[in-house]
Amino acid sequence: MRRPLARSLTALVAAALIGPMLAACGSDDPADLVIYSGRNENLVKPLIEKLEKHLGADVEVRYGDSAELSAQLLEEGDKTEAGLFLSQDAGALGALSAEQRLAPLPKGTLDKVDPAYRGAAGDWTGVSGRVRVLAYHPGQVPTPPNSVHELVEPQWKGKIGFVPTNASFQAFVTGMRVLEGEDAARTWLEGLKANEPKKYENNLKVLEAVDKGEVPLGLINHYYWYEQAAEKGSDALKAKVHYLPKGDPGGLVNVAGVGILKGADKKQAEYARKAVDYLLGTEAQTYFAEETKEYPLAAGVTSAEGVPPLETLQPPKIDLGKLDSLKQTLSMLQEVGLV
């Protein structure tokens, strides 16, 4: 099971430090395909092994933070050794797309995924999805709020758990900035700060705190609850999850996705295209659904048992590529005093 660590996107300013580390991971014999992965090694290594077998090729993976890797790829330009970028979130892919560092994907590949979950320029696609939810303790909150905007009301003072350094929380704030404007997002963050939310190390700790009744509410991604339910049994969890309705910014659906790097040689580019199609195929999509409890985005694979189907959700309508302004979000969080 994934054990996520809180990730700070201050990584953007430290991207230059990654180069030597990545170089050290290389080998004398070049791999058929080099993947820069912003997804956790423990999470995707089994899938990468299946991919390597599927391709019949030597695949080398260099792991890091998605924002750091995106910045590193921009710095490397056409000199990069990477053929494929596997990102934890859409914003890092959007940053590369904006600088025209990603190659166009074939129409047949793009058509496998709903346009809402792929790049508008046709140069990256989501492979799995996750939705922001409220974890809540029914004994303390019989009826959870239907909007994150309610969380700045006085009755929730000291009653909210969150991870301000987490990439998914920061992507949600970025989404609010895109959807509602800079002033509205800042006002919300100031209201949240005034309500003295409790900071935790990671989303799993938030869920555990809600389950224990330490805090009545928590801001997390949906899959944390379903992973715990699969491990312990749903009856063993006091905490429940609430999906926010009516396009609320707190119900953002973000994606992990892939893009093929411009500058990749012919062999790498071909393997990269095959890798993208594999990640959108039945085996990989089933892995995301069953092993990580994320939303599969292609191949007709349905979400895991008990996870509400993606089409039943009411997320805000947003161009996920516009989540690329994470640096500005971090600055705002710092100015407000939440990180």
pLDDT of residue 28: 57
Domain, as residue range, for 135: 130-252+326-336
Q: What is the mean pLDDT of residues 312-324?
A: 96
Residues 215 and 298 in one domain: no
Residues 123 and 259 in one domain: yes
Return the percentage of the chain with pLDDT > 90, whole number: 89
pLDDT of residue 88: 95
Residues 123 and 268 in one domain: yes
Q: Which CA distances in Å does 206 have to 84, 140, 227? A: 33, 16, 14
pTM: 0.89
| Residue 184 placed within a domain | yes
Paired tokens of 128? 């799995």
Residues 157 and 236 in one domain: yes
Number of domains in the chain: 2
Q: Which of 321, 317, 272 lies closest to 57, judged by CA?
A: 272
- The enclosing domain of 247 has a CATH number of 3.40.190.10
Q: What is the mean pLDDT of residues 282-302?
A: 97
Residues 123 and 261 in one domain: yes
Residues 17-47 have pLDDT tens digits of 444 444 444 445 789 999 999 999 999 999 9
| Residue 4 placed within a domain | no
| Residue 163 placed within a domain | yes
| Residue 321 placed within a domain | no
pLDDT of residue 30: 80
Residues 104 and 207 in one domain: no
Q: Which amino acid is at 24?
A: A
